Amino acid sequence: MKKKLCGLLLTALLTMAVLGGCSDGTGESSGDNSSAEPAYGGSVVVGIQQDIDSLDPHLATAAGTKEILFNIFEGLVKSDEKGNLIGAVASDYTISEDYLVYTFTLRDNVKFHNGDPVTAEDVKYSLERASGLLDGTALISALSPEKGGITGVEILDDKTVQVTVGSANTELIYSFVAAIIPAGSGEEEGADPIGTGPFSFVSYTPQEEIVVKKNPDYWQEGLPYLDQVTFKITGSAQTALMEMQGGSIDIYPYLTDSQAQALAGGETHQVLTSPSNVVQALFLNNAVEPLDNVLVRQAILYAIDKEEVNVFVGGGSGSLIGSAMLPSLTDYYVDLNDEYGNNANVEKAKELLAEAGYGDGFDLVIDIPSNYEFHMQTGEVVVEQLKAVGINASIHPVDWDTWLEDIYNGRQYTATISGITCDQTPGYLLNRFQTDSPKNFINYSNEEYDRIFVEAQKEQDPVKKAEYYKQLQKLLTDDAATAFLQVPGNMTALSNRLAGYRFYPVYVQDLSTVYLVE
């Protein structure tokens, strides 16, 4: 949702993302039942693993929140299940050749959930609030004037809004998924969110559920099918599984392989799989001893058996990676798995540790957000592998909020297992490794990397640009910046009474196309 599909979301973390992988494996995986006649009405329960951080679409930062708000809010544009942008509140838009002026034509008959039609005023207000033009505080930093975002919003007529931006950026259009809200409603959005999405907000009970109901005025003909959707915040992955078997959760994304196996047999749910758009890694803090030593980091990379992680935790559904790029972005991806191998090389790892002066090993605490069973299980496997080379690793489960605050923002950690999500733009995964990026939570610092990244951003020729991006990936791998593991497969449980579920290449849960089969 908001923030560009990915914009700086820290989103990142989120466990494996829901959506299908970027580009190719996405599309409609609506399950076996999709041939059945769609029926209208009914309600479903979607299990989610974390509480939301804000109902205000411009304030929400966690990907786990945005994936839900996707159903309530829409921007001028939104992502479709192929990852392409389609018009939402705007029916059409043009971008000037210098990429500095965007002209949006508003769609007719789009109404807010409160019944009011969306006006150009509302759009202007929303964009100015998100970019910080309103009161100086940018809520979505990619849109802020300081970052080359929006510098002015002008209403040309009732149906036309013109936006000028500070710098030419071919990828900025993705940030216009930022939610459009009624003019002047900013203060209330957090308590009473009003948007234009297929579902309207009903209630939120912290740690329990978010309930939304059908928006009868939704502009897309025929959608949504369901009358009501409850996003239920599950206490733990274990109880969630019980609740699925008991029939009280209909949809549950991001299963681990063991959970998928427990549902095998398909008595209650079918398990759908699609590549995710998440890069899962054992993130290493490059600024902390002993991980500030490149030899130690390389030793860790040699010690890890990515294939084993994939088999144990994901049942082999993931794609192994050696750097920060999705294999599905074929033009930009370079396979670097061979550099350290997919399997453990214990000898080599021990050799490097000895060379670095850690022949006797060392203690390594790995912080893991405990609400993500997938990362926790990965941790158990990785700890075993590190022990084999003499690194005495242990797991320290942390709460999600603590993770965001202390580890992601505060960078107070040595190693952590988590995931970073991405959008369809190749630069997104790589920009966080610039020395001064606020998202550079591993404290990676390489002048050559910073230099090439700037070059890559400036480059307009796609082939040369891809070449730069490949060099960047190689640098990350050579420096053993972090132990990239895999792009996990996203296994989603879908109740047998449902069909129409779609995987997206971005991190959203789209319930508008889901329907009951009778």
Q: Which residues bind other proteins (CB under 8 A)?
A: 51, 54, 56, 59, 186-192, 205-208, 234-243, 245-249, 258-259, 261-262, 264, 308, 311-312, 370, 376-377, 379-381, 383-384, 387, 394-397, 399, 401-402, 405, 409-410
Give the Cα separation of 283 and 478 in Å (integer): 15
3-state secondary structure of 420: strand
Name which of 209 and 459 has its Cβ closer to other proteins.
Answer: 209
Name which of 54 and 91 has its Cβ closer to other proteins.
Answer: 54
Contact call for residues 434 and 457 (beta carbons, < 8 A): no
CA distances to 48, 255, 366 from 4, in Å: 22, 26, 30
Task: Provide the b/e sequence for 336-364 (b: ≥16 CB within 10 Å).
Answer: bbeebbbebbeebbbbbbeebebeebbeb
Shortest Cβ 436–other proteins spacing (Å): 14
Beta strands in 109-250 (DSSP E): 150-157, 160-165, 199-205, 209-214, 228-233
Shortest Cβ 133–other proteins spacing (Å): 17
Name which of 70 and 312 has its Cβ closer to other proteins.
Answer: 312
Shortest Cβ 27–other proteins spacing (Å): 30
Name which of 69 and 241 has its Cβ closer to other proteins.
Answer: 241
Name which of 289 and 380 has its Cβ closer to other proteins.
Answer: 380
Q: What are phi and psi of 487, to 5 degrees?
A: -100, 100
Name which of 147 and 465 has its Cβ closer to other proteins.
Answer: 147
Shortest Cβ 381–other proteins spacing (Å): 7
Task: Provide the b/e sequence for 415-450 (b: ≥16 CB within 10 Å).
Answer: bbbbbbbbbbbbbbbbbbbbeeeebbbbbbbbeebb
Shortest Cβ 439–other proteins spacing (Å): 12
Task: Give Cβ neighbours of residue 377 (< 8 Å, ≥ 6 apart).
Answer: 256, 258, 312, 313
Shortest Cβ 310–other proteins spacing (Å): 10
Name which of 233 and 506 has its Cβ closer to other proteins.
Answer: 233
Shortest Cβ 185–other proteins spacing (Å): 10
Give the Cα separation of 499 and 392 in Å (integer): 47
Shortest Cβ 481–other proteins spacing (Å): 22
Give the Cα separation of 284 and 256 in Å (integer): 23
Give the Cα separation of 246 and 507 in Å (integer): 28
Contact call for residues 60 and 68 (beta carbons, < 8 A): no
Give the Cα separation of 230 and 238 in Å (integer): 19
Shortest Cβ 184–other proteins spacing (Å): 13
Contact call for residues 70 and 64 (beta carbons, < 8 A): no
Name which of 219 and 312 has its Cβ closer to other proteins.
Answer: 312
Name which of 336 and 393 has its Cβ closer to other proteins.
Answer: 393
3-state secondary structure of 499: strand
Shortest Cβ 516–other proteins spacing (Å): 18
Name which of 94 and 394 has its Cβ closer to other proteins.
Answer: 394
